[in-house]
Amino acid sequence: MSNASQDALEPPRVGATLQAMRQGQGLSLDELSRRAGVSKSMLSQIERNQANPTVAVVWRLANALRVELSELLGGERPAAPAIETVAAHATPSMSSPDGLCQLRILGPIDLAGQFEWYELTVQPGGALESAAHEPGSREHLSVLSGSLEVSAAASVQRLKAGETARYGADGAHAIRNTGKTVATALLVVLHS
């Protein structure tokens, strides 16, 4: 039997298609599991092509994703949507060890290391202190509410709501909330 005929006898592999559709809709494995009534471990195995789902499971998944059964079985990655949205609960975030600073990662993960975009929330007394990034890196900090103090290259500048600071990030630098109210800002990091 030729390889072509063996391939024709293989069941369709829906793993990559399922994963692309799930991520394109901003769904976690937990959320899709809940919607489709399929265990999270089974979904994970299907996405890694370690299990072939039954027709009933594929039907449930297609309904949960609101796509045609044939789209899931087609094995082709769906076209990227004209507008990709990320649900608020699916936006990753990080906190400083003391919990006084929170960064929500707004930029796409595939651009990390080149261009990073964050929503920064700093509680009173909180500080986001950073070591030097690579030579030529710059940060752009736009304060949305409250006030923040930026230090870089032995300079210190206080910013109030509506103001933006642009500074080199290739030396130690810090963003501090020395005020009495919570401060929020957008932080863009451009790596060289």
- Do 99 and 164 belong to one domain? yes
User: Is residue 146 packed enough to be buried (19+ CB in 10 Å), middle (13-18) or exposed (0-12)?
Assistant: buried
What is the domain-level CATH number for residue 64? 1.10.260.40
Predicted local distance difference test score (pLDDT) of residue 24 = 81
In whole angstroms, what is the distance from residue 75 CA to residue 71 CA? Answer: 8
Do 99 and 185 have their domain in common?
yes
Per-residue pLDDT for 112 more than 80? no
Work out how many domains the chain is built from and give that number: 2
State the Cα–Cα distance between residues 122 and 181, nearest whole angstrom.
Answer: 9
- Per-residue model confidence (pLDDT) at position 79: 60
Residue-level pLDDT at 80: 64
- 34-72 confidence digits (pLDDT tens): 988 988 888 888 888 888 788 888 888 888 888 887 777
pLDDT, one tens digit per residue, over 74-100 is 755 556 678 888 888 888 889 988 999
Please tell me the predicted confidence (pLDDT) of residue 16: 81
Examine the domain organization and report whether 7 and 59 are in the same domain. Answer: yes
Range of the domain at 51: 3-73
